[in-house]
């Protein structure tokens, strides 16, 4: 199984992609492979749609020491529809182990470029990154995705924008589900969590135009999913943060710091197992079914038939007013939980502005300013969380000493965020950023 290839910043003949290999029979897909595509398949039954027969020839290239440096693979592929051969094509690939080149080196130099030049001289055509299964499926492989936001007309109705906002987040969740399961993308859990949070926030923001009997159960289930994703993500952020902090400790403390953080790694492993169990549950599959349905046909009230530009900006002002009221009600020295609450409200105000931005000029700029407030208060909360974990770690001796060193560093970081957040708030609390609000 080959996820979509990507080669950021590289052009020409080089294609980078992850390939997943599963053990199984030739008669049915392995269960592990089905798990990876579960979000797209859900309750549907998989059936054969094409059979590929491949005659493969390999030529391994080695250097003077006998070490393999590349492999030329020549595939002749037949696409069968029953007993009939529906199509044939030939594909030549030059595969280079990723460990061969130094980090940052251009893989087209040294090995690949001369090989490609020689193959083209022998008659090979221009590179085509289309995977075999895409060629085999033909037009079916380029059908529109099941869930995809659509361009909005200037006079779009509120229902159209609501549907689009939901579809955008549902599509993001479906896209990142396989990446969460495989664990190969460090941002996958984060992006799935963001999609889930945006869905909950948008359902709240658009609540006055939605059927509450439909909205509230959906928000509740999204809250359940967000908890599982959040538990893993929060610990991932904490581990990354403490690893970076530990690098500033004396060399004599590095081993104890690594031993301390092994406890956190163990927590992440356990939380990840629970998350994967959640993703394999019928409850999650049912939630995805409801989300896909919501992306196509949200249960709106009659007022949602009005033009989006006339009704939605007013709904997006409510989260802002709650945020402003909460900030004005803070004491001179807010507590950590109070600042965390401000961060949550800033996030809701940001998501609401982003949702109505297609019909509210200026909302995007407001959202960017709210994101800056969310970021600095997030830095503060991450520091508070780190200190709490370090204090709760059941360690002694050298590891306890290292935990104390890290706590001191985190206190400095928290104090710095406290000293700066008001300035960021003042930048957000400007009338010109709210000109789009009624």
| Same domain, yes or no: 127 and 207 | no
Is 31 inside a domain boundary? no
User: How are beta strands 51-62 and 68-81 bridged, if at all?
Assistant: antiparallel
Q: Does residue 316 lie in a domain region? A: yes
Residue 11 confidence (pLDDT): 44
Give the torsion sign (CA, 208, 212, 218, 219): positive
Residue 40 lies inside a defined structural domain of this protein:
no
Specify whether 133 is located in the same domain as 224: no
Statement to judge: residues 308 and 253 lie in one domain = yes
Question: How many distinct structural domains can be found in the chain?
Answer: 2
Quick check: 9 pLDDT over 70? no
CB 40 within 8 A of CB 13: no
| pLDDT for the residue 102 | 46
Residue 27 predicted with pLDDT over 90: no
Residue 15 has pLDDT above 90, yes or no: no
In a domain, 291, yes or no: yes
The mean per-residue pLDDT over the stretch 91-110 comes to 63
Indicate the residue among 142, 173, 195 that finishes a domain: 142
Q: Which domain holds residue 80?
A: 48-142
Q: Residue 182 has what pLDDT? A: 93
Mark whether 382 and 428 lie in a shared domain: yes
Is the confidence at residue 56, as pLDDT, over 90?
yes
Residues 105 and 240 in one domain: no
Task: Tell me what percent of the residues of the chain surpass a pLDDT of 70.
Answer: 93
User: How far is it, in rounded angstroms, from Cα 352 to Cα 367?
Assistant: 8
Residue 322's pLDDT band (boundaries 50, 70, 90)? very high
**169 in the same domain as 105:** no
Tell me, yes or no, whether 190 and 284 share the same domain: yes
Which has the minimum average pLDDT: 86-100, 262-276, 279-293, 302-316? 86-100
Q: What is the pLDDT of the chain when averaged over all its residues?
A: 90
- Whether 267 and 303 share a structural domain: yes
Residues 376 and 252 placed together within one structural domain of the fold = yes
Domain boundary among 109, 142, 175: 142
5 inside domain: no
Q: Which whole number is the average pLDDT over 303-316?
A: 95
Over range 143-147, report the average pLDDT. Answer: 89
- Give the separation between CA 400 and CA 259, rounded to whole angstroms: 11
- pLDDT tens by residue, 357-407: 999 999 999 999 999 999 999 999 999 999 999 999 999 999 999 999 999
More confident residue, 80 or 319: 319
Radius of gyration of the chain (CA): 26
pLDDT of residue 4: 43
pLDDT at 48: 83
Indicate the pLDDT class of residue 26, thresholds 50, 70 and 90.
confident
Helix (H, G, I), strand (E, B) or coil at 3: coil
Q: Concatenated DSSP letters for 137-190?
A: HGGGGGSPPSS---PPPTT-BHHHHHHHHHHHHHHHHHHHHHHHHH---TTHHH
Determine the Cα–Cα distance for residues 343 and 82; give it in Å rounded to an integer: 59
Contact 294, 320 (CB under 8 A): no
What's the CA gap between 417 and 405, in Å, rounded?
Answer: 19
Same domain, 169 and 209: yes
pLDDT in tens, 113-134: 888 888 888 888 877 777 767 7
105 confidence band (pLDDT: 50, 70, 90): low
Q: What pLDDT, in 10s, does the model give residues 75-98?
A: 998 888 777 888 888 888 888 876
pLDDT value for 109? 58
The residue-averaged pLDDT of 336-344 equals 98
Q: Do residues 203 and 175 both lie within one domain?
A: yes
CATH number, position 340: 1.40.20.10
- State the pLDDT at residue 153: 86
**In 186-205, which positions are buried (b, 16+ CB within 10 angstroms) versus exposed (e)?**
eebbbbbbbbbbbbbbbbbb
pLDDT at 287: 98
Please give the backbone phi and psi of residue 191, each rounded to the nearest 5 degrees, phi first.
-70, -35
| CA gap 112, 283 in Å, rounded | 48
The answer to whether position 132 is within a domain reads: yes
Q: How does pLDDT run across 183-212, given as a tens digit for each residue?
A: 988 899 999 999 999 999 999 999 999 999
Report helix, strand or coil for 63: coil
| Last residue in a domain, options 142, 176, 198 | 142
Is there a domain that residue 22 lies in? no
Do residues 165 and 65 share a domain? no
Per-residue pLDDT, 131: 73
On whether residue 128 sits in a domain, the answer given is yes
């Amino acid at each position: 199984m080959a996820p979509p290839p990507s080669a950021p910043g590289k052009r020409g003949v080089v294609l980078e992609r992850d390939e997943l290999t599963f053990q199984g029979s030739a008669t049915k897909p392995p269960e592990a492979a089905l798990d990876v595509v579960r979000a797209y398949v859900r309750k549907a039954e998989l059936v054969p749609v094409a059979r590929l027969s491949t005659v493969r020839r390999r030529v391994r290239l080695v250097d003077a020491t006998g070490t393999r440096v590349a492999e030329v693979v020549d595939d002749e592929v037949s696409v069968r529809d029953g007993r009939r051969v529906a199509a044939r094509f030939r594909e030549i690939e030059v595969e280079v182990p990723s460990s061969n080149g130094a980090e940052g080196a251009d893989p087209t130099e040294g090995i690949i470029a001369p090989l490609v030049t020689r193959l083209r001289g022998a008659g090979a055509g221009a590179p085509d990154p289309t995977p075999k299964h895409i060629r085999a499926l033909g037009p079916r492989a380029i059908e529109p995705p099941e869930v995809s936001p659509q361009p909005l007309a200037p006079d779009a109705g509120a229902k159209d924008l609501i549907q689009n906002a939901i579809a955008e987040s549902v599509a993001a969740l479906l896209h990142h589900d396989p990446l969460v399961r495989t664990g190969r993308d460090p941002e996958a859990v984060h992006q799935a969590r963001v999609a889930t949070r945006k869905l909950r926030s948008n359902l709240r923001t658009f609540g006055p135009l939605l059927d509450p009997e439909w909205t509230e159960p959906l928000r509740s289930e999204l809250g359940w999913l967000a908890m599982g994703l959040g538990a893993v993500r929060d610990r991932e952020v904490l581990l990354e943060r403490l690893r970076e902090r530990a690098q500033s400790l004396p060399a004599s403390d590095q081993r104890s710091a690594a031993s301390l953080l092994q406890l956190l790694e163990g927590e992440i492993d356990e939380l990840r197992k629970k998350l994967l169990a959640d993703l394999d549950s019928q409850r999650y599959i049912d939630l995805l079914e409801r989300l896909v349905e919501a992306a196509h046909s949200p249960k709106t009230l009659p007022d949602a038939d009005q033009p989006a530009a006339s009704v939605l900006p007013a709904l997006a002002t409510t989260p802002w007013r709650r945020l402003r009221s909460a900030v004005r009600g803070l004491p001179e020295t807010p507590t950590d939980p109070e600042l965390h609450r401000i961060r949550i409200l800033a996030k809701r105000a940001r998501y609401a502005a982003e949702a109505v931005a297609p019909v509210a000029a200026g909302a995007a700029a407001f959202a960017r300013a709210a994101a800056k407030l969310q970021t600095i208060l997030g830095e503060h909360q991450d520091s508070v969380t780190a200190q709490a974990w370090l204090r709760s770690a059941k360690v002694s001796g050298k590891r306890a000493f290292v935990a104390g060193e890290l706590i001191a560093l985190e206190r400095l970081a928290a104090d710095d965020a406290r000293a700066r957040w008001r300035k960021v708030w003042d930048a957000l609390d400007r009338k010109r950023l709210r000109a789009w609000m009624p």
